[in-house]
Amino acid sequence: METRLREFLGHLKTYQFQLKHLTVLLAALLLFQIVVSFLHKASLSKLLDHTQEWYQQDSAERLANLTTTSLELLLETHSIKQRADENEIRKMVQWLDIILSQQLLSQNVKEICVLVRIDTTIAAIDDGRVMYEYMFEDLRRLPPSTVRHQEAIDLYRSLAAQFRKDEQIHTVVQSKQTFHVFVPFVPRGEFVGAVYVRTAPDFSFITQEIITSYDQTAVTFSALILFGLLAMFYISTYTLGARDEAQRQLFEKEKEHLAGLITHQKEMLFTKRIYHTHHKAEKIMGFIREDLRIMEAKNIEEIRHRVMKYSSFIARVIYDMKWYDPPMQTYRGPLFETDLNETLRFLIHNVFRRVSGDGERVRFQLELCEKLPKVQVNEFVAWEAFEPIIQNSMEHAARSDVVITIRSSFDPARGEIRIAIQDNGMGIGEDLLELDERGVKKVFQESASTKALSNQHSGYGCYIAHEIATQRCGWQLDAANDPAGGAIFTFIIPARA
């Protein structure tokens, strides 16, 4: 027996971690069950209270209405024109007393009387003899009642005008338990006053029984859930060990696979970016050699300025080739004050026109806003963003007379700069203007090309321009087709970006 107990305890220790989790689960379940039970109980109590109030008021009004109807029917049986003998008068008074006093035998009825107006005062009648003399003998000096009905008189006085106007039952609820009911008293079709009944019905014992029954049900339900979970845990424990070990090994393999895949993708992207930047650097180095060859005394300042720009761009390219993800402050920040118009002019005049020449195949039109504010972005990072888009406009047009229009504008109200690069080429395929699951147009995806014939190095220019503009500079870049023909790439730049 002791050996089996030790084995059981040892087996239980194997699942100590799961037991801790089960404890938390049970505690959470208990807490949730208490909260749900409390909320349900409060909701049920509220429903029962509203139902009880409605039923109490309805019962009180029914009782008062029945009493009023009995009085009116009894009074209508007696003719006001014929002189009744003493025997009839005694019977009538006895019947009135029975109606007025019979309701007081009920446990819930606390007060009953008939409220009538005599001249400018309101009097309360709770005696059959006084009621008979008031109705049939025109008694105007009523003897004092044995019960003080001052509260009823005060309430009726406050309701008298509206009560006489609509002749409807009025109920005043006091402390949710006491109901003051006023029923129009209209014997023989003539409004006389009101029958007042004060009741205090008590149905709290019914509510208490329902709440007690609900508490018992909630406890039983919680106990069943608890034992059910314990049984489920006991049964599932035998299968969790092997499953967890298999999942752990699977996750380790998947982790190694994903790590290798991510590393490979980073290397591929870095290789493509090096190729892209190397190609641009090679072109700029050619410009530098050409400028040094043609440098003379008369153009030395112009060439010096140009070579300084070229060399700074080469330095930027080399920096990009060294780092996969350079620090953000090397892209943008308050240290930079870049004139985008000047950057665009330099690109067109000293890069693209040197490549395309001054022939008729490619013509550039600059429509630049001179009020463009400076932006806090590295000039050569902006160069890297603009250059692939302009190059794309030159190469994808598929015509001999390409016109590339570059416009800059500034909206002070929005604090927004727009740089539009437009060509008169064949435009962008509609499939490339569709959005992917990230909300990015496919033309900006890697390996997506706007060229009719793509090769292994196509489709990277728009991608890298979009990455630089959106991820590094904090701009927006959009692509669309001009209805008149050609494509439009628009950079949207915050004025202080």
CATH of the domain at 469: 3.30.565.10
Token pair in block for residue 85: 């003998």
- Residue 85 forms part of a structural domain: yes
Residue 476 banded pLDDT, cuts 50, 70, 90: very high
DSSP assignment, residue 189? G
pLDDT exceeds cutoff 60 at 212: yes
Which among 153, 168, 202 is the end of a domain?
202
d(CA 188, CA 391): 105
Residue type, 411: D
Which among 152, 180, 202 is the end of a domain?
202
Lowest mean pLDDT among 257-266, 344-353, 452-461, 475-484: 452-461
Q: Strand 476-481 vs strand 416-423: parallel, antiparallel, or unpaired?
A: unpaired
- Residue 407 forms part of a structural domain: yes
Q: What per-residue string of b and e applies to 367-377 under the rule 16 or more CB within 10 Å gives b? A: ebeeebeebbb
Mean pLDDT of 9-15: 54
Q: Considering the chain, what percentage of its residues have pLDDT values greater than 90?
A: 10
pLDDT exceeds cutoff 90 at 459: no
How crowded is residue 489: how many other Cβ atoms within 10 Å of its Cβ?
26
Mean pLDDT of 189-217: 76
Which among 169, 202, 235 is the end of a domain?
202
pLDDT exceeds cutoff 70 at 21: no
Domain count, the chain: 2
- Domain of residue 393, residue span: 333-494
Sign, Cα dihedral of 35, 37, 41, 47: positive
DSSP assignment, residue 92? H
How crowded is residue 236: how many other Cβ atoms within 10 Å of its Cβ?
11
Token pair in block for residue 341: 């118009």
What does the pLDDT read at residue 433?
Answer: 86
Token pair in block for residue 117: 């107006």
What does the pLDDT read at residue 419?
Answer: 94
Residue type, 60: A
What does the pLDDT read at residue 324?
Answer: 65
Q: In a 10 Å sphere around its CB, with 0-12 CB exposed, 13-18 middle and 19+ buried, how is residue 153 labelled?
A: middle
What does the pLDDT read at residue 447?
Answer: 64
pLDDT in tens, 75-92: 777 655 556 677 877 888
d(CA 15, CA 323): 49
Residue 452 banded pLDDT, cuts 50, 70, 90: very low
Residue 427 banded pLDDT, cuts 50, 70, 90: confident
Residue 453 banded pLDDT, cuts 50, 70, 90: very low
- Residue 480 forms part of a structural domain: yes
Residue type, 17: F
How crowded is residue 29: how many other Cβ atoms within 10 Å of its Cβ?
14
DSSP assignment, residue 143? P
- Residue 288 forms part of a structural domain: no
What does the pLDDT read at residue 475?
Answer: 93
pLDDT exceeds cutoff 80 at 239: no
- Residue 310 forms part of a structural domain: no
Indicate the SS3 state at residue 495.
coil
pLDDT in tens, 377-410: 989 889 888 988 988 888 877 777 889 999 999 9
- Residue 359 forms part of a structural domain: yes
pLDDT in tens, 31-85: 777 777 777 777 777 776 677 667 777 777 787 788 888 877 877 776 555 566 7
What does the pLDDT read at residue 357?
Answer: 59
What totals of helices (H) and strands (E) does the chain contain, helices first? Answer: 11, 10
Q: Are 460 and 446 within 8 A, CB to CB?
A: yes
**Which candidate, 60, 58, 179, 70, places its Cα nearest to that of 114?**
70
d(CA 436, CA 350): 37
Residue 22 banded pLDDT, cuts 50, 70, 90: low
Concatenating the DSSP letter of every residue in 286-316 gives HHHHHHHHH--STTHHHHHHHHHHHHHHHHH
Residues forming beta bridges with residue 124, ordered by sequence position = 115
pLDDT exceeds cutoff 60 at 14: no
What does the pLDDT read at residue 90?
Answer: 82
* Residue 252 backbone dihedrals phi, psi, to 5 degrees: -65, -45
Q: Considering the chain, what percentage of its residues have pLDDT values greater than 70?
A: 79
pLDDT in tens, 291-315: 888 888 888 888 888 889 888 888 8
- Residue 439 forms part of a structural domain: yes
pLDDT in tens, 275-284: 666 677 778 8
pLDDT exceeds cutoff 50 at 457: no
Residue 1 banded pLDDT, cuts 50, 70, 90: low
Query: What average pLDDT is seen over the chain?
Result: 79
Concatenating the DSSP letter of every residue in 63-129 gives HHHHHHHHHHHHHHTS-SSSPPPHHHHHHHHHHHHHHHHHGGGSSSEEEEEEEEEETTEEEEE--HH
Lowest mean pLDDT among 72-76, 126-130, 455-459: 455-459
- Residue 261 forms part of a structural domain: no
d(CA 201, CA 177): 7
pLDDT exceeds cutoff 80 at 164: no
Mean pLDDT of 412-431: 90
pLDDT exceeds cutoff 90 at 4: no
Q: Are 466 and 474 within 8 A, CB to CB?
A: no
pLDDT exceeds cutoff 90 at 115: no
CATH assignment of the domain containing 101: 3.30.450
Indicate the SS3 state at residue 8.
helix
Token pair in block for residue 39: 């909320």
